[in-house]
Amino acid sequence: MRTATVAGIVFANSNDKLLKRLTTHRSMASVPFGARYRLIDFSLSNLVNAGITNIGIITKEKYRSLMDHIESGVHWDLDRKNGGLRLLPPYSESGIKRYSGTVDALHGAKDYIKRCKADYIVLCAADILANVDISAVIKTHIKTEADITTVYHNGILPPNREDAMLFTLNTDNRITAIGFDGEVGAEHKYGIGITVIARELLLKLVDDAYDNDLPSFNRNVLARKVSSLKILGYEHSGFVTLMNGTDTYYKANMALLESDVRRQLFQKDRPIYTKIRDDMPTRYGTKAKVTNSLIADGCVINGTVKNSIIFRGVTVEKGAVVENSILMQETSVGIDTQLNNVIADKNAVIGDGMVLKGTDEKRFFIEKNEIV
């Protein structure tokens, strides 16, 4: 089946500032999530599951961690001659210029867009957590002969997302108005950062916007074209989370403890792929007491773990109690240590007999490589 007619572009640094401590040294795309993933795994897997194997990742800064994660793309089946995965770091004809907006970013990626031989481009934001059937979106886009199709979710608008597009649709799903800054806590049809557009049209719109110094593709281009272009909305009614802060990040991880959410995010016919570490299965010791938790491979659990998300290679020693916490890769928890409402970044070392408790309002954050 010829699938080379669609290419994908992922924005790796979408809204880095919203997850402050987790993005100090990494892009939003690289933020660890769900015991074994990075946020970008969802966008990449959505694209790959739609048969899209030509994918460019636009990055602005702090992309070392991302480069390390994606390697050759082989883990998403993207180590290809035909297409493949490409990192698109900042590029500009007139010296190195970091992207200052999505128009800039897309303009900098023009070379890639021009050369990718695709009829359509799917734009994805890395800060959206969802399993979306992008091939269904593309099919609809082609069938309805839309100029642009963008995916939305009908739900409560979270705070800190003034950048989210809010749609008004008519009965034919045509978007008649795009607004921003909607009422937080109220129900809206908000965009989830997945847009299908013909490659030629994208190039034209980006060129026009760039020549006119317009910064944002959504706000300054799409929002102004609802009358002149046929922009359709495609509803995604399944589970979705817009990252808007550490609290949402925490709650999104914890949502995975519900079987319904797992069923929606991890689908057998649209799996989420990620980099493989070849860990051994997780070992539970004699005194292990694990309940309501999501555990990755390579862990050694000898203590109590409750309501927690445990990443790969984590060790929890005897007598330790870990509750309501997120422990990222290679964290170690010492003997008799108690953790509650803790988020530990990679390689954190927590010694014996420690007591670290955060609260619902303010979780206890341990930095990457920190020794406590």
Partner 1 sequence: MKNKKCVAMLLAGGQGSRLGVLTSKIAKPAVPYGGKYRIIDFPLSNCTNSGIDTVGILTQYKPLELNDYVGSGKPWDLDRLDGGVHILPPYQGQEGGDWYKGTANAIYQNLEFIARYNPEYVLILSGDHIYKMDYSKMINQHIEDGADCTIAVLEVSMEEATRFGIMNTHEDGTIYEFEEKPANPKSNLASMGIYVFSWEKLRKYLIEDENNPDSSNDFGKNIIPNMLKDGQKLKVYRFNDYWKDVGTVDSLWEANLDLLNPKIDLNLSDSNWRIYSRTNGMPPQYISDTAKVENSLVTEGCEIYGNIDYSILFNNVTVEEGATVDYSLIMPGAVIKKGANVRYAIIAENAVIEENADIGGDPAVVGTDGWGITVIGAGLSVGKNAKVSANKMIVNDVKEGDEI
Binding site for partner 1 (CB under 8 A): 34-36, 74-75, 256-257, 259, 262, 265-266, 271-274, 276, 278-298
| Beta carbon nearer to partner 1, 97 or 287 | 287
β-pairing, 84-88 vs 54-58, is parallel
| Beta carbon nearer to partner 1, 220 or 264 | 264
| Beta carbon nearer to partner 1, 179 or 271 | 271
| Beta carbon nearer to partner 1, 231 or 290 | 290
| Beta carbon nearer to partner 1, 224 or 283 | 283
Element (H, E) at 191: strand 187-198
| Beta carbon nearer to partner 1, 13 or 332 | 332
Task: Of 316, 312, 311, give the one whose Cα is nearest residue 300.
Answer: 316
Min. distance of Cβ 49 from partner 1 in angstroms? 10
Q: How many Å apart are CA 58 and CA 109, to the nearest integer?
A: 7
Min. distance of Cβ 314 from partner 1 in angstroms? 11
Min. distance of Cβ 12 from partner 1 in angstroms? 22
Q: How many Å apart are CA 54 and CA 30, to the nearest integer?
A: 20
Q: Which two tokens stand for residue 116?
A: 């990718």
| Beta carbon nearer to partner 1, 230 or 270 | 270
The structure tokens 């949402």 sit at 248
Are the C-beta atoms of residues 14 and 238 closer than 8 Å to each other?
no
Phi, psi of 251 (to 5 degrees): -65, -35
Min. distance of Cβ 77 from partner 1 in angstroms? 9
Min. distance of Cβ 285 from partner 1 in angstroms? 7
Residue 39 exposed, middle or buried by CB count within 10 Å (0-12, 13-18, 19+): buried
| Beta carbon nearer to partner 1, 46 or 102 | 46
Min. distance of Cβ 89 from partner 1 in angstroms? 27
Min. distance of Cβ 256 from partner 1 in angstroms? 8
Q: Please provide the DSSP assignment of 98-165 as one string.
A: ---SHHHHHHHTHHHHHHT--SEEEEEETTEEE---HHHHHHHHHHTT-SEEEEEEEEEPPTT-TTS-
Min. distance of Cβ 258 from partner 1 in angstroms? 10
Cα–Cα distance list, 179 to 167, 169, 254, 261, 338 (Å): 7, 12, 31, 29, 47
